[in-house]
C-alpha cells in the first residue's frame, strides 16, 4: 500500500518509535559541532556569554547593531562556497557600530540550516576571522537546525564601546569640510537581489565573476587608527543599501548636504558589467550599490591630506569625493 503524506499516521500502531533525528534534527551531530567550535573559541558553551568591560572610560557608552547578508547567500549556493560569508556578516554589523566612534567589543551570531554540515563550519570559520580582523570577541550565538528549511540564513549582532565625550555624531560638521571615500572590496553585501536577477536571466555568470563572493571590507582597524591620531573625524558613514545618496546624509547635521563627485574615483569593472548587462540607469546604480566606496569620513579641509595618508598607510585606497555645503547655498 502506498501511503499519502497527508494520511494520518498512528506511530504506535505502525510500530514506529519516533526520535528527534528521524524528525530531522541530529542531537549528537549538534553536540559534536558545538564541541568542535568550543575548541576554536574557548569560553563558549554557557547559557550566556560574558566579557569584562574595558577600563579607562570616564562615561562608557555601549553601541549596538544587528544585520545580515541578504541574498548574497544565493551566490554562496551557486558557487558552493561559504568560506567568506561569515566575514561579510561580521563586517555588516561592525562597520555600522564604528561610525559612532565605538571600539568593537563582542559579536553574537545566528545561523539556521537544514542540517549541520561542512558549509556551516565554513561560515563559522569566516565569522571567527571577521571578529579577529575587527579586534573583538565572538561571545556566543545560536546554530539552529530547521529540517524543512531549504537554504541557509544568518544574522549577526555587534556591540562596541565609546566614551561619551568621544562619540562621533556629526555635530561638528560644517560647510567646507571634506568627505573622504574609502575603497570597497566590491559589492560588499548589498545589491545582490539585482545581481541574482541578472544571474537567473543568464546575463552574467558567477564563473566569470568570482569577485561576487569577495568578502566585505572590515573598516574597524583603520577607523580605530584615525580616532587614535586625533579628534578631527567629524562624521562617518557605512555605505550599504541605498548607496552614498541614502547613507552619507545620515551623518550630516540638519541643513547641510554634500556634493559628491562620482568621477573622483575609478568605477570598479563589476559595476560597469552590471550596469551594461542590466541596462541599469546610473541614478539607480547610485541608489543600489556602493560603486566602489564602502565607507566615508568627514574631516576639516586642513586635515584632508593627513587623513588620506593614514588611511592609505593601513592598506586601503581612498579619494576626496565631496565637499559639505549649506543646503541653501547648494
Locate the domains of the chain by residue range: 23-40+55-166, 178-326
| Residue 144 pLDDT level (bands cut at 50, 70, 90) | confident
**What would the pLDDT profile of 151-166 be if each residue is shown by its tens digit?**
899 999 999 999 999 9
285: three-class secondary structure by DSSP: helix
Instruction: Assess contact for 145 and 21: CB atoms under 8 A.
Output: no
% pLDDT > 70, the chain? 94
How far, in Å, CA of 80 to CA of 100, rounded?
A: 36
* Model confidence pTM above 0.85: yes
CB 299 within 8 A of CB 234: yes
Answer yes or no: are the C-beta atoms of 296 and 321 closer than 8 Å.
yes
pLDDT at 21: 77
Under CATH, what is the fold of the domain 23-40+55-166?
Answer: 60s Ribosomal Protein L30; Chain: A; (3.30.1330)
What pLDDT is recorded for position 1? 46
The answer to whether the 23-40+55-166 and 178-326 domains have the same CATH topology is no
Name which CATH class applies to 178-326.
alpha beta
% of the chain at pLDDT higher than 90: 74
Residues 6+ apart with CB under 8 A from 249: 257, 258
Strand-strand pairing, 293-299 and 153-163: unpaired
In this prediction, residue 39 has a pLDDT band, given cuts at 50, 70 and 90, of confident
pLDDT band at 46 (very low <50, low <70, confident <90, very high): confident
Please say whether the beta carbons of 172 and 231 come within 8 A: no
Q: What is the bridge-based pairing of β-strands 153-163 and 103-113?
A: antiparallel
* Largest interatomic CA distance in the chain: 84
N residues, the chain: 330
Q: pLDDT tens digit string along 166-192?
A: 999 999 999 999 999 999 999 999 999
Q: For residue 43, what pLDDT is reported?
A: 65
Closest CA to 305 of 178, 171, 172: 178
pLDDT, tens digit (0-9, with 9 covering 90-100), for 206-263? 889 999 999 999 999 999 999 999 899 999 999 999 999 999 999 999 999 999 999 9
Kindly report, residue by residue over 268-327, the tens digit of the pLDDT: 999 999 999 999 999 999 999 999 999 999 999 999 999 999 999 999 999 999 999 998
Amino acid at each position: 500500500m502506498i501511503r499519502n503524506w497527508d494520511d494520518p499516521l498512528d506511530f504506535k500502531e505502525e510500530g514506529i518509535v519516533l526520535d528527534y533525528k528521524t524528525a530531522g534534527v541530529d542531537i549528537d551531530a549538534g553536540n559534536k559541532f558545538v564541541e568542535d567550535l568550543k575548541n576554536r573559541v574557548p569560553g563558549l558553551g554557557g547559557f550566556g556569554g560574558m566579557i569584562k568591560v574595558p577600563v579607562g572610560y570616564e562615561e562608557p557608552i555601549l553601541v549596538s547593531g544587528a544585520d545580515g547578508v541578504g541574498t548574497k547567500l544565493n551566490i554562496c549556493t551557486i558557487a558552493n562556497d561559504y568560506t567568506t560569508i561569515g566575514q561579510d556578516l561580521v563586517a555588516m554589523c561592525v562597520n555600522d557600530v564604528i561610525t559612532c566612534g565605538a571600539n568593537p567589543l563582542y559579536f553574537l551570531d545566528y545561523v539556521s540550516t537544514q542540517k549541520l554540515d561542512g558549509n556551516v563550519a565554513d561560515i563559522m570559520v569566516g565569522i571567527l576571522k571577521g571578529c579577529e580582523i575587527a579586534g573583538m570577541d565572538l561571545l556566543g550565538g545560536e546554530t539552529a537546525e530547521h529540517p524543512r528549511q531549504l537554504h541557509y540564513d544568518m544574522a549577526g549582532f555587534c556591540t562596541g564601546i565609546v566614551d561619551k565625550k568621544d562619540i562621533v555624531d556629526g555635530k561638528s560638521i560644517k560647510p567646507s569640510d571634506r568627505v573622504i571615500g574609502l575603497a570597497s572590496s566590491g559589492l560588499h553585501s548589498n545589491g545582490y537581489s539585482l545581481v541574482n536577477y541578472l544571474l537567473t536571466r543568464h546575463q552574467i555568470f558567477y564563473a566569470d565573476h568570482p569577485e561576487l563572493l569577495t568578502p566585505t571590507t572590515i573598516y574597524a582597524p583603520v577607523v580605530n587608527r584615525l580616532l587614535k591620531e586625533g579628534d578631527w573625524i567629524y562624521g562617518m558613514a557605512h555605505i550599504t543599501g541605498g548607496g552614498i545618496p541614502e547613507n552619507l546624509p545620515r551623518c550630516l547635521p540638519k541643513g547641510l548636504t554634500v556634493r559628491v563627485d562620482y568621477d573622483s574615483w575609478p568605477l570598479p569593472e563589476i559595476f560597469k558589467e552590471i550596469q551594461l548587462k542590466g541596462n541599469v540607469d546610473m541614478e539607480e546604480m547610485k541608489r543600489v550599490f556602493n560603486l566602489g566606496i564602502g565607507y566615508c569620513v568627514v574631516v576639516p579641509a586642513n586635515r584632508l591630506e593627513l587623513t588620506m595618508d593614514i588611511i592609505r598607510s593601513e592598506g586601503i585606497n581612498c579619494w576626496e569625493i565631496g565637499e559639505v555645503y549649506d543646503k541653501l547655498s547648494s
